[in-house]
Structure formats: structure tokens, C-alpha cells
Amino acid sequence: NSKVIQTPRYLVKGQGQKAKMRCIPEKGHPVVFWYQQNKNNEFKFLINFQNQEVLQQIDMTEKRFSAECPSNSPCSLEIQSSEAGDSALYLCASSLGGAGNTLYFGEGSRLIVV
């Protein structure tokens, strides 16, 4: 069973609505990643954090997407105005950091935009 906890497992939103997903990383893991997996099972890296600081993010994330990892609270990924193309499985992963340390994934939050 995954030690990375993602909620909700499923959410359905109308176009233009906000969609917010949460992630509790594995205890002691300072690095958190968000990925988007589309219906063709293709993965897209969105953003990652080390503690509360953003390490890397793609252009898409800088516009309609926002994410944060506050101390003592779950990390979150929010889409300000959902579009049909945002329908996907959003995966959170955590790690101790560094190339030799494994990323462990949660079960994902499946967003359906109608």
C-alpha cells in the first residue's frame, strides 16, 4: 500500500470551475513531485518542491495551475479554471531527494472535466 496519500481519488468539475487536489507525502520526505498522466497514459512533469520551495515547474503550471507545499499541511495542486484537456490522473510522488533516492507515488486523483 502506498504511503503517499492523495485526496480525493476522483473529482468531477465543469469547465471554468476550480479543481483542487491534495497530497500528504511519505513521512520524512522533503521532495514532492506532481505529474499529470493523460488518457493515453503519457506522463507530464508539472512541478516539484523541496520542503516549501519550488525546484522546477513547467510553463503550464505557471499559468492556470498553482501548487504549494506549506509546512505542517498537505501539499496541494489547484487548477484555477478547469478545461476539458485537463481531464487526467494527477499523481503525487515523494522522495528523500537526489538521483539515487526513489520516488514513491500515491494512487492519484482522477479529474474529469465535463
| Chain residues that interact with other proteins, rule: CB under 8 A | 2, 4, 6, 31, 33, 35, 41-43, 45, 48, 50, 55-56, 89, 91, 93, 95, 97-108, 110
- Closest approach of other proteins to the CB of residue 23, in Å: 11
Angle at 42 between CA 36 and CA 45, to 5 degrees: 40
- Closest approach of other proteins to the CB of residue 100, in Å: 6
- Closest approach of other proteins to the CB of residue 97, in Å: 5
Identity of the residue, 80 or 101, whose beta carbon is nearer to other proteins in the bound complex:
101
H-assigned helices in 1-114? 59-62
DSSP H or E run through 59? helix 59-62
Residue with cell 512541478: 47
- Retrieve residue 81's grid coordinates: 479554471
Identity of the residue, 19 or 33, whose beta carbon is nearer to other proteins in the bound complex:
33
- Retrieve residue 65's grid coordinates: 495551475
